[in-house]
Amino acid sequence: MDLVTVNGLSKRYGGIVALSEAAFGARAGEVHALLGENGAGKSTFIQILSGAVQHDGGTILVDGQDYRPANPDAAQARGIAAVFQELSLIPDLSVEQNIWFRHEPRTWLGIVNRAEMRRKTLALLEKYDFPALRPEQELRRLTLAERQIVEIAKGLAKDPRILILDEATSALPAREAEWLLKLTRQLAAEGRLVIFISHRMAEVRAIADRLTIFRNGSTVAAHEAAAVSDDEIVTQMIGRHLDRLYPERVPTMTDRVALKVANLASGSRLSGVDFSLREGEVLGVGGLQGHGQRELFQALFGATKASGAIELWGRPAAIGNPRQALTGKDGIALVPEDRRGQGLLLTKSVRENLTLSVIKRFTENGLLSRQKEAALVKEMVDFLRIKAGTPEQLAGTLSGGNQQKVIFGKMLLTQARVLLLYDPTRGVDVGTKGEIFQLMRDLAAKGYAILFHSSDMPELVHVADRVLVMRNGRIAATLEGDHISEEEILRAAMLETRAA
Amino acid sequence: MSVEQTVEGAQMPAHRKDTRPGIDWRGRALDRAPFLVACLMLALIVAIYGSLQSGVFTLDELNLDTAAAMTLMLAATGQTIVLVRGGIDLSIGGMISLGTVIAATRFTDDPSTTAFWALTILALGFLIGALNGLLISLLKLQPFLVTLATWSILNGVAMIILPTDGGSVPGWWVGFASAQLLGLTSPVWMLLALLLFWWWFRATRVGITIQASGSNEKSAFLSGVSITRVNIVTYGLSGLFAAGAALFLITQTGAGSPTIGKDYILPSVAAAVIGGVSLFGGRGHLAGTLIGALVLTLIGNLVFVLHVSSYWQPVASGVILLLSVLASSVAEKAARSRVQ
């Protein structure tokens, strides 16, 4: 018998139907993948399962008993825990306090038993072979990847019968992502049900026993993983054939150098970086995570202090802070890593997000021209095909892919023609990924110069004209033409090169 | 060849498990910078005060200054809990006024009557605070606005009960503040009790949950925290401490006042900020707040022994507040640049 059976599940947010007629069934001891584009209803579905929101119609049975949790506590009481993509961690608490939050072992007078908490933390980390974490460290000092790992530990600390992993690998470097896949199998072997959401088909292939596909708020199919091909899955996800994920790579680069970087250094993470980015070029930045890619982007955007020389369109540029970097047609614009934290104001509308940093463009004699603003916003929403009810819809209520499009729009409105894209497809569904790649090539054809980092290696291989491979804060290799392959990138990223 | 296989087979850098750095002392020091600055300020003020006035470094002086600071300390304790929650409570001014006028009109020489009304004032403080918390959650309003409104209402009620300063409290109630044990007066013992309370409170689930809700409300909610319940408890405690401040205050004044509470609203916030409590929630300790309260109180003493106009006291308090905020912001920036 199935551990979870869902029938006719529906949920509305105001006038928007998030789920209608969703069905789902999964057994104990299996890894069950949940697939669908962003906005297909996966997030709503797991929010309902985990008690964060309540459904309007339909039934959920857990162990054959009706299940309708009023809040996350009630869900946990029934043995269901979720590892959210939208992290549920507290920045000012330590790692172990976060893991055991609200379930802390206690002694007399309700005082938290720190020794016991430490012991349980280490036992948990040991049991599931967690990557190194310091239990006493404050969460806000951790990187995004480390936080994701803490979130996983927090989910496991509840010893759930059903664990939901929402895009848990998307923030992890390759090695940790691989660990998580192994962990997922281990949990299933322990008799738990793992509901696994990922946009990376290879991962789903590697671990899922069965999969359920969502589209437009409904379930379209459920399969044994072994019995269905990638093509069938993608077709069912998007409801049509996705001709090609990656657009054709027509070289559009000119001889004109858009961005020239010489001897760029910043702290201990970046030293002696030289490269040129040409007009019409998509230049990839790859390598193992944590080898200076983030620092390179931050230094170029002026978000961290750096030394060295930067030339923009042939003129020396002093890039002191993002505002300076943003100025006008000769400037630089960035799509940041953490779109919820750095890129978007979630409680502001799509319009405000688009125009906030370029407000000068609509100002006449110190007054805002609403007409001018509305025209530009409409142009951008249409150009990028941002799916929002109106431009006044809050950015926080958009799907991940559409949020990323808003950030692209914000960047394009600055009129800067040197674009820094840091992992722009992280947590974005397949359909939108394709749109983003096409957009990148279109922009390159228009004469934009694009520096592009991705944690997903095939993206670099298929989209970039050249790839810089970083190792220990330096550029270890520059790959061109036929030399761009996953093997070559990894070789340059991991193996010592002979002195040239 | 898949990516995973390649990573597995290749020479990887040493596994991260073997590279645990030691304790991050500098990071910890930066975290505590505002608190350390407050300690430094206190030491400086005490040093100047001691050089101008004889007998500063005695138990008597400690007893006197603690008594002078205790009302503010109690009010600021409640305020600290609210600030750590990420809110603010202006209504404590109204609660303190209301508490003193109820006490001044109801307390009698009969200990049981007085005890009954003292407990009533404390209960009232908690209930009014809880109501604040409930309103903030239910109406989804800014704490600033809700508590501003309740402050005004409580102030009005206090005026209705006792339009001008007056009334009286029994002599033995006034005597409480100078009662001694082992050479220390009751306010010094209360100070120790407050620190003990905080040590306990911060180690309980309730304390951690309040801090967590101030640190990131959404995350706390996703972890199963009932934000409404958190607000009720947080503001309830703040009201309770404000009521306690009122009961202590009348040992100093001996009478009720329908307007005296407003003198504690902003200083309670200032004491916390000087002590390193973040106005954005999630961070701060009571020890800092209590030092902040002492700093603000001793500034008054200093102005007195310098024989300058007492109007210089708020000027000096303001300057100190600015310096503290500056110190925290510098430390914050230093800490942030280290992370990147």
Question: Is residue B276 domain-resident?
Answer: yes
Identify the pLDDT of residue A328. 63
pTM above threshold 0.80: no
CB-based contact A282:A465 (threshold 8 Å): yes
Identify the pLDDT of residue B340. 42
Better pLDDT: A31 or A489: A31
What confidence tier does B100 reach under pLDDT thresholds 50, 70, 90? very high
Question: Is residue B20 domain-resident?
Answer: no
First-residue to last-residue Cα distance in chain B: 35
- Identify all chain A residues contacting B8, using CB atoms and an 8 Å cutoff: 178
Structure tokens at A238: 């998007």
Asked whether the beta carbons of residue A88 and residue B222 sit closer than 8 angstroms, the reply is yes
Q: Which of A80, A85, A95, A101 would you mutate first to test chain B, the one with the most B CBs within 10 A?
A: A101
CA distance B23 to chain A (A): 9
Residue found by looking up tokens 């992502």 in the block: A177
- Identify all chain A residues contacting B208, using CB atoms and an 8 Å cutoff: 93, 97, 101, 104, 112
Judge whether B3 is closer than 8 Å to chain A, CB to CB.
yes
Residue found by looking up tokens 């007629």 in the block: A21
Which amino acid, one-letter code, is at A313? W
Which residue of A90, A202, A305 is in closest CB contact with B215? A90
User: What span, in angstroms and rounded, lies between the C-alpha atoms of A395 and A438?
Assistant: 23
- Average pLDDT over chain A reads 83
* Distance, C-alpha B166 to centroid of its chain: 28
* pLDDT of B193 strictly over 50: yes
Question: Is residue B340 domain-resident?
Answer: no
User: What span, in angstroms and rounded, lies between the C-alpha atoms of B191 and B72?
Assistant: 11
CA distance B270 to chain A (A): 22
Domains A4-238 and A257-494 share a fold: yes
Asked whether the beta carbons of residue B216 and residue A110 sit closer than 8 angstroms, the reply is no
Question: Is residue B302 domain-resident?
Answer: yes
CA distance B279 to chain A (A): 14
Extents of the domains making up chain A: 4-238, 257-494
* pLDDT of B23 strictly over 70: no
Torsion angle (degrees, nearest 10) of CA A440, A444, A447, A453? 70
Question: Is residue B106 domain-resident?
Answer: yes
Whether ipTM exceeds 0.85? no
Which residue of B16, B205, B211 is in closest CB contact with A104? B205
User: What span, in angstroms and rounded, lies between the C-alpha atoms of B75 and B93?
Assistant: 9
Identify the pLDDT of residue A365. 72
* pLDDT of A384 strictly over 80: yes
Lowest mean per-residue pLDDT among A4-18, A229-243, B49-63 = A229-243
- Average pLDDT over chain B reads 85
Q: Give the number of other Cβ atoms within 10 Å of residue B1's Cβ.
A: 10
CB-based contact A95:A139 (threshold 8 Å): yes
Which residue of A76, A90, A110 is in closest CB contact with B204? A110
Spatial CA neighbour of A417 closest among A392, A445, A438, A397:
A445
Asked whether the beta carbons of residue A494 and residue B10 sit closer than 8 angstroms, the reply is yes
Judge whether B211 is closer than 8 Å to chain A, CB to CB.
yes
A495: nearest CA partner in chain B? B11
Q: Which of B45-54, B114-123, B274-283, B304-313 has the highest mean predicted lDDT (pLDDT)?
A: B114-123
Judge whether B8 is closer than 8 Å to chain A, CB to CB.
yes
- Identify all chain B residues contacting A471, using CB atoms and an 8 Å cutoff: none
What confidence tier does A495 reach under pLDDT thresholds 50, 70, 90? low
Identify the pLDDT of residue B14. 34
| pLDDT tens digits along A107-135 | 888 888 888 999 999 888 888 888 888 88
Burial of A422 per CB tally in 10 Å (0-12, 13-18, 19+): buried
Question: Is the CATH number 3.40.190.10 carried by domain A4-238?
Answer: no
Which residue of B4, B200, B221 is in closest CB contact with A178? B4
In total, how many domains does chain B have?
1
B336: nearest CA partner in chain A? A141
Domain range for B66:
59-328
Question: Is residue B283 domain-resident?
Answer: yes
Better pLDDT: B163 or B21: B163
* pLDDT of A243 strictly over 70: no
Question: Is the CATH number 3.40.50.300 carried by domain A257-494?
Answer: yes
Question: Is residue B224 domain-resident?
Answer: yes
CA distance B211 to chain A (A): 8
A91: nearest CA partner in chain B? B215
CA distance B199 to chain A (A): 9
Residue B73, domain CATH:
1.10.3470
Question: Is residue B12 domain-resident?
Answer: no
Identify the pLDDT of residue B38. 85
Judge whether B147 is closer than 8 Å to chain A, CB to CB.
no
